[in-house]
A and B are shown apart, each in its own frame.
Chain A
C-alpha cells in the first residue's frame, strides 16, 4: 500500500470553502486554513502557508470560490486572475490563470454558462493532474535502485515520500539525506516528517554539508523538485538548488529533477526570481539573531541550467 502524505494534495474545496494545509505548522500540527475568496488565497500564497504544488491547487480552486460576484462575472474572474498572478513572482501563476480566463472568454462568446465551464475545467484539470502525479510517482520509484543513497532538497509535495513507500514495497533499500533548507526549513520540517511517515530511512543535514556528503560518496543520486520550467529545460527551484546541481556535476552524481514542462519563458534567465525581505531570516521568535545592524539578503529561488540536469521526470500539467 503506497503512502499518501497530506502534502501530496494540500488543498481542497468543501461547501464553498477552500481548505489549505498550513505547511508552516507541519509536523507539529495538521491545520487547514479556511479560504473564502481571492484575498485569502493571495494571503496564504504570499505568507508561504502553502508553496509548490499547493500554490497550483490554491490558484485553480480560488476560481471556484469566485463564481458568484455582484457584477460582470468575466471581468471579475479577470480581476481574480490579476490578483493571483501578482501574489508571488517566480511561480508561473499566469500560465494557470490564463487557461481559466480563456475558458471563461470562450463560454462568454458562445453565450454559454461561464460558471459551468469554469467548474468543469477546474475539476477536470485537478482529476487529470492527480492521475499524472501518481504516474510520475511510479516513475520516481522506478528511478530508485536498491541501496541508493538519495539527497533531496526542500520538499516535493508528497511525491518523494510516496515513491519511497513504493520502492520499499518493491524490496529496495533506499536511504535519504534531506537538507535542512533554510530559512523556512521545509526539509527539516516537511521532508523528514513525510519520509519518516512513509517508513523510509532519512537523515537531516545542514545545507552547508552537501559538499561533504558528495565528496565522501555518501550519496549517489540527487532528486529535487521544481517550481517552474523554461522551454530550454532550465528550471527554477528553492534557493540552494543551483549549488547542489553544480556540486553534483563536479562529483559525478546524477541530478534528477521533477518538472512541469512549459514554454512560457525561453530560458532560466527570463524567470523572475523573488527577492524576499532579509528580515524574515534575521529575526527568529521576535529576536534578531545576528545583531541589530546586520543586513540580510534573501533570494527565494535559483535557476538550475538544463546542462546540469541528468534526467527530468516530467509531468504534463496541460499548461
Chain B
C-alpha cells in the first residue's frame, strides 16, 4: 500500500519546468530513494511534498488525502517530517530544545497553558523532555543534549536534524541528502540509523548522491533528470539502466 502518491505533478518556475509530469509512489514501511544529477529537481519534489510550493499541475496524496496546496505546518501535522539539504537547525537553541520544538505539532498546550504554566502544561513538558532525550539517544546524541546546535560538528548536526524530524512521530520521513559531508564511518552509522528508523514503522524517502549508500539501503529507486523521471526500479536494475548511466556520465561518443 502506498503512503505517498505523486500523481502527474508538474512544477514550473516562470519558463523553467523544474518537475515535469512526475508519477511516483512510496510504499508504506519501505526505504525509497530518489537520485539524479545536480539540478534534476529532487529537492523541488520535497518542497512540493512539504507544501513550500504548490504544484502547477497534479496531485499529491498522503495516506489517501490530497495535500497539495496545504500549508507547510498543516502538512507537518499530518505526519510528514523532513531534513534539509543545507542544514537548517535552530542554531542557537540547545539540541534538546531543537528536538522538543520538533514535537510542537503533537503538543496540546494552549496560549493560556504556556502563560500560566498550568499543571497540564508542566506534565506535557516533562513528558516531551523525556521523549526528546530518548530520541537524542536513539540518534547517538545523548551527550550533546545541552549544546547549541551551532556548536555541533557536521555529522551530529545532520543526526540532530533527523532526531528533530522524528520528534513529531512522522509516518513519512523525508531525508534530503543525509550523508552529504559525512566521512565513511559516519555514513556507516547513518545507514544503521536509517534502517532502525524504518524498523520503528516510519517510511523513509531520501534524496542522496552517495551511490554506495543508496544502493545499500534503498528498496526502490527513482531517477530524475531535468525534472523527468527516467527510471524507476530495484537498485540492481537502476545500476545497469542505460538511460541512468547516460544521465550521469553523458552519451558515449
Does A associate with B in a complex?
no
Residues of B within 8 A of A (CB): none
Residues of A within 8 A of B (CB): none
